[in-house]
Chain A
Amino acid sequence: MPRSATWLNRLRRRPPQGITSPQHGDQLPHPRSEILALTGVRAAAALAVVLHHIGLPASAPEPLRNLVQSGYIGVPLFFMLSGLVLAWNYSTLTIGSPGRLWRFYVARIARVMPLYWVVLLYLVLQRAAHGVPQESLWRHLLAIQTWSGDYAIGQASYNPPGWSICVELFLYAVFPFLVPLVALLSKRFGAAGLLGLIAFAFAVQVFLVALFTAEGWAFLSVKDPSSGHRWLYRNPLPRLSEFAIGVSLAFLLLRGFKLRTRVAGWVQALCVVVVLVIAAAGPSHARWMLPAFYGAMWTVPFAVLLLALAAAPGAWLSRFFATRALVTLGTASYAVYLTHRPLLSFLGKDRGSMLADPAGWAPYAGVVVVAGLCLLIGEGAHRLIEVPARRAVLRLVPRTRPVITERTKSEVSA
């Protein structure tokens, strides 16, 4: 039945092009259409991280400051989303097929590394220009810095968000080993097996939070090599939980999991409210909450939200995130994420300086303009570096026909 002409449909008049479209540098065939709502949700995640780094003035209401301060949760969302999207596109990947494995790894490198290296090169030059010695550059070049116990190396030098790229690379490396196991679980035990895996992964997160709280490690300084920040937040190993949950969600979808539009709409609203309320309350109310805020606190609402977005394209939030504007921002979200942090220090608008700003409307306007500038630079970096580099690297991959084709003419991209 044709849908009524709402403002959301008017926004979708021109079909958006997602990350897997040739316009954004992809040249490999994919078995299924891109779930555009999940591309759009990246925009929200990246913007949350940008705002987290910009911060709000001290005069802002506390819940609003907490909300912005919790913007880092975009990163755990990215990890789960990564698992979901990869499994959606490579559900039959195994380590037994070297050709496909090669294509997978080259595609991953093409997607994340060129821009990472360009930003790193820029920061290396900046250090050289200011006479600052280079430190552990080789770790940053190889994107293995976050494995270091030294916080200065792991997260505080060169491009701070680079730590999560290091985590992503680890997750990419593990993916071809993980996905056949999840596929087997799905085949043998059906949805119950997948839900069991999700519950197990979440239980591991809860166990780690409990352990680090009981031992007191969670409250050590971030610079301490035994701190919760190191082992629960920036170490790649615990991030496997979110990633495995994302992979399991994809297999649930592949098994035909659907939600009725109305139900999905309510579920999406509930998830958004839960996340906003917890984030606005902030971790300062209860000491035990701190380690949970590194990831476990968000796992359930994020998993349900992603599932509801993907399983019901007609629900209100799915349609919102699949609008052209959000998908466009989502396609550039990686570049925004990677470029924004060094820029903020140049602009003097990182969290420290914004907190010292006076009251009034001007600091808020400054936040809007600076965030807008980050989005513009991200889009430019995406179009002028990420896309051409991705295209160039993917030319190395021999063309093959897709294994399965679920695409129809009416579908937009992939």
Chain B
Amino acid sequence: MSGLTSVTEGAALSHPRPELLAATGLRGLAGLAVVASTVGVWRGAPGYLQDLITVTALAAVPFFLLLSGFVLAYNYPGLSYASGRRVIGRYAMARIARIVPLFVIAGLAVLMLGALNGSDWVRAVYADQTWFVGTLVLCYLVYPLLARVVAAAPGRAALVSLAVAGALAAVQLTTSIALDRFPPAWLPVFTLGMALAGRELPAPRWPAHPLLVRLGVIGYPLFLLHALVLHGFGPVHAGTLSNALLALGWIGLTVFVAEGAHRYVGVPARRGILDLARRSARL
């Protein structure tokens, strides 16, 4: 099975430890939940199904960030800005290769379509994505600052992260201050993920199912492009079984687009940038 760290997916740098395919599968599940909630047809579905999809989708973004912290701490233990230019350079190139090309290409496509459909359209299909990528970049920048601190006392780091995240959630829920769009407010979730990487966690087998792993591999383009695809194709109305089935087709289309974007943009660009990083490291 080829996960995110396999050569076929564009990973040209070596990784110190084998990929946790269950984590990749969970990423896929969260991505699918985000797409499913965006389709909107579930408004006519039974209450428990609506709640399940809404809660899973709401939890998806914190989960992505948590997972990001976890995977970085798993792959780059003890990284710091004092680790040397070569090590930090590799880390930076790997992060850039993973997120920048797809974000830029998809952004250009959105801007072009925005010229046809108006700027509100751009906001509708790319605002959340831009915010998320900005938050992710902040997390990537912060990681080398916190990695050693968190690794030295993961339990304490987890408690502090939980306490800060809880306090921020309380502020968000009880006051009119909107913290959910403020990227630094998500750092405790990211740090919690880093802290969990130091623990032996029970890893269930089912998330490592090939289908979920595949969805996890294309999770990033799935998140970037789902709103564009669903908005472009128009809403699916709620209320009938055939509409619900059609919504599944819409989700399928989004998955196809994500797979195509991963193959045509994500993999070659990642491979190209990482090849460049490897060659310049040799010089």
Q: Chain A interface (Cβ within 8 Å of chain B)?
A: 122, 125-126, 128-129, 328, 339, 343, 346-347, 362-363, 365-366, 368-369, 372-373, 375-381, 383-384
Contact = CB atoms under 8 A, between A and B. Distances in A.
22 contacts: A125-B249, A126-B246, A126-B249, A129-B243, A343-B233, A346-B234, A362-B115, A362-B116, A363-B116, A366-B116, A369-B109, A369-B113, A373-B109, A377-B253, A378-B260, A379-B256, A379-B259, A379-B260, A379-B263, A380-B257, A383-B259, A384-B214
B110 to A, nearest CB: 9
B83 to A, nearest CB: 32
B14 interface: no
Nearest to A368: B112
Nearest to B247: A129
A68 to B, nearest CB: 18
B112 to A, nearest CB: 4
B263 to A, nearest CB: 5
A373 B261 CA distance: 9
Contacts of A384: 214, 255-256, 259
Interface string B238-275: 00101101100100110111111101100000000000
Closest 9 CB pairs of A and B: A380-B256, A376-B260, A380-B259, A379-B260, A128-B242, A365-B112, A129-B242, A129-B246, A380-B260
Contacts of B252: 122
Contacts of B233: 343, 346-347
A158 to B, nearest CB: 14
Task: Give the dominant DSSP class at A's interface.
Answer: helix
A267 B34 CA distance: 53
B264 A379 contact: yes
Contact of B256 (A328, A346, A381): A381
Contact of A366 (B112, B240, B253, B259): B112
B36 to A, nearest CB: 17
B88 to A, nearest CB: 29
B109 A125 contact: no
A362 B243 CA distance: 33
Contact of B240 (A129, A328, A365): A129
Contacts of A369: 109, 112-113
Nearest to B233: A346
Interface residues of chain B: helix, strand, loop or mixed (majority): helix
Nearest to A23: B8
Nearest to B234: A346
A224 B242 CA distance: 34
Given A125-B249, A366-B112, A375-B264, A380 B243 contact: no
A372 B109 contact: yes
Interface of B: 109, 112-113, 115-116, 214, 229, 232-234, 236, 240, 242-243, 245-246, 249, 252-253, 255-261, 263-264
A380 B258 contact: yes
Contact of A122 (B229, B249, B261): B249
Contacts of B245: 125, 128-129
Given A126-B246, A346-B233, 7 more contacts: A122-B249, A328-B263, A362-B116, A372-B109, A380-B255, A380-B256, A381-B256
Contacts of A125: 242, 245-246, 249
Nearest to A378: B260
* Residue among B112, B233, B256, B257 with max Cβ neighbours from chain A (10 Å): B256
Nearest to B111: A365
Which of A125, A373, A383 is the most central at the interface, judged by chain B CB atoms within 10 Å of its CB? A373
A376 B257 contact: yes
A128 B246 CA distance: 9
A381 B260 CA distance: 8
Contacts of A381: 256
Contacts of B255: 380, 384
A373 B240 CA distance: 29
Nearest to A348: B234
A365 B232 CA distance: 15
A28 B229 CA distance: 36
A365 B249 contact: no
Contacts of A375: 260, 264
A122 B247 CA distance: 10
B87 to A, nearest CB: 28
B145 to A, nearest CB: 37
A377 B233 CA distance: 13
Given A125-B245, A376-B264, A379-B264, A365 B115 contact: yes
A125 B243 CA distance: 8
A378 B260 CA distance: 7
Contacts of B113: 365-366, 369
A22 to B, nearest CB: 13
Contacts of A379: 256, 259-260, 263-264
A376 B261 contact: yes
Nearest to B214: A384
Nearest to A357: B116
Contact of B257 (A328, A363, A368, A373): A373
B264 A365 contact: no
A126 B246 CA distance: 6
A128 B255 CA distance: 23
Contacts of B259: 376, 379-380, 383-384
A375 B264 CA distance: 9
A377 B116 contact: no
A343 B214 CA distance: 24
Nearest to A381: B256
A365 B260 contact: no
A343 to B, nearest CB: 8
A381 B259 CA distance: 8
Contacts of A366: 112-113, 116
Contacts of A328: 263-264
Contacts of B229: 373
A21 to B, nearest CB: 13
Contacts of A339: 256
B255 to A, nearest CB: 6
A21 B234 CA distance: 37
Nearest to A364: B112
A25 to B, nearest CB: 15
Nearest to B240: A129
Nearest to A377: B256
A280 B157 CA distance: 68
